[in-house]
Amino acid sequence: MHIFRLIVTTFLGLSLALLSLILFMNLGIGIFSMLSLVPLVFFVVLQIIPAKTVSSTPPPELSPQEPTILETPKNPSMEPLVPETQTIGRCYDILEEPLALLENLFPVLESLSSIVSKKIETSAQSLGQEVFKLSDSAQILNEEIDKTLKNFTTGEHSLSGAVLNLQQKMVLMDSLFKVFEKLKSGFNQSLSSLKKTSSTIHDFSENISDLADQTNILAINASIEAARVGSAGKGFAVIANQVQILSKQSKSLAEKMAVLVKDVVQTTEKSFENNNLSISEAIKQISTGKNDMGDLVQSLGPKVEQVQESVYASHRMVDTVSKGLKEITVTLQFQDITKQILDHVISILSEIRRTILESPQNNLDLEKIQGEPFKTKAHELASQFFTVEDEWTTVNVDPQHLKNKKYPEKSVELF
């Protein structure tokens, strides 16, 4: 009796476990975890309580002439009042209907288990494929970013290279700036020197002019003395006259030279002034250009660093994706474990079914148990729980004709 109760309660408990798996498909892992505990508790309680009930509850008062199947001896080791084979046989009679239901539900449970396994497998496979596709895309994107930004940040034609080039050009501009400054200074010195020389030449020409005047006066005096002497002084008078002419020419030349030198100095001064203006303008532009370049170099520097940081961030992203992928790989394998557990549940149910059907005390009419009335009743019992289309296929019902009753025409409705 105790063994028989053990078999039946185990069978019921595991059936509930499987049905809770069906609910899991709709309601999620949390409810599944809760519900899968229910049959376990049910199973444990039914094992413990009957044993305690036997020891603590006093047996009913019975007339010796009226033996009853439900009589429980005070001490389990006592001999039963009714022969055991008859008791078990009568138990089978009473349990014919529930056993028939279980017998007809077993293939339904087997089919449901198979559906759950396949759906989980399909789902895991699909998810796995999408995840790996995303990972491959991320890897390709990272390689492209790396390639592009690497060219941008390293090498001769990179941004970093351009900044370095600019810095080198700034040094050259600095040198050029100094050259122009030196040139301007040189021009000023040359102009100063020229002015000094011009002044000296002017002084010389004035001296020559004075000398010419004095020579002229001397020549005039010589002419006067030659005239006083008479005919003996004629030659001297001619010479004096020539000297007079020469002194006048010398003076004229000296004056012309002074004017000429003055013109040259003025022209040169003007030219130097123009050059100085141009040099000053060039120096100003070089200075402005140098400052602008300096600003550009300063602003580019942080931008290059930002680009470099982006490259590093891209590498970190790939590492994170790779790590996440490993964890997903482990998680996806749980569908295989779930399938194994479902297979074990079905195997246990199958073994219990076999034990019941092959029991020597079994007086079950198999043809009746496996026949249509019980089969129909079992399918009706199972159908009460069905909400998913696939479930109906296990009882050979086309869910389409149930659509009006069970399934709304639209998957979303507003009220």
Partner 1 sequence: MAKKILCIDDSPTIRMLVRKTLEPVGYQVDDADDGSTGLTKIQSAVFDMIIVDVNMPIMNGFDFVTAAKKNPNFAKTPIVFLTTESSAQKKELGKSLGVSGWMVKPFNPDDLLNIVKMLVG
Interaction site with partner 1 (CB under 8 A):
121, 124-125, 128-129, 132, 325-326, 329-337, 339-340, 343
d(CA 213, CA 251): 7
Find the shortest distance in angstroms from Cβ 344 to partner 1. 10
Find all residues with CB under 8 Å of 350, minimum gap 6, and list them: 106
Which of residues 113 and 198 has its CB atom nearest to partner 1 in the complex?
A: 113
Closest to 164 (Cα-Cα) out of 151, 177, 155: 155
Which of residues 330 and 412 has its CB atom nearest to partner 1 in the complex?
A: 330
Find all residues with CB under 8 Å of 315, minimum gap 6, and list them: 142, 146
Which of residues 127 and 402 has its CB atom nearest to partner 1 in the complex?
A: 127
Q: Is 26 in contact with 387 (CB distance < 8 Å)?
A: yes
C-alpha distance from residue 36 to each of 25, 39, 212 (Å)? 13, 6, 140
Find the shortest distance in angstroms from Cβ 135 to partner 1. 9
Which of residues 52 and 326 has its CB atom nearest to partner 1 in the complex?
A: 326
Find the shortest distance in angstroms from Cβ 335 to partner 1. 6
Q: How far apart are the first and last CA of the chain?
A: 56
Which of residues 281 and 319 has its CB atom nearest to partner 1 in the complex?
A: 319
Find the shortest distance in angstroms from Cβ 413 to partner 1. 35
C-alpha distance from residue 72 to each of 57, 60, 321 (Å)? 10, 8, 66
CA contacts within 13 A on the Cβ side of 68: 9
Return the DSSP state at 292: H
Find the shortest distance in angstroms from Cβ 44 to partner 1. 24
Find the shortest distance in angstroms from Cβ 330 to partner 1. 5
Which of residues 299 and 340 has its CB atom nearest to partner 1 in the complex?
A: 340
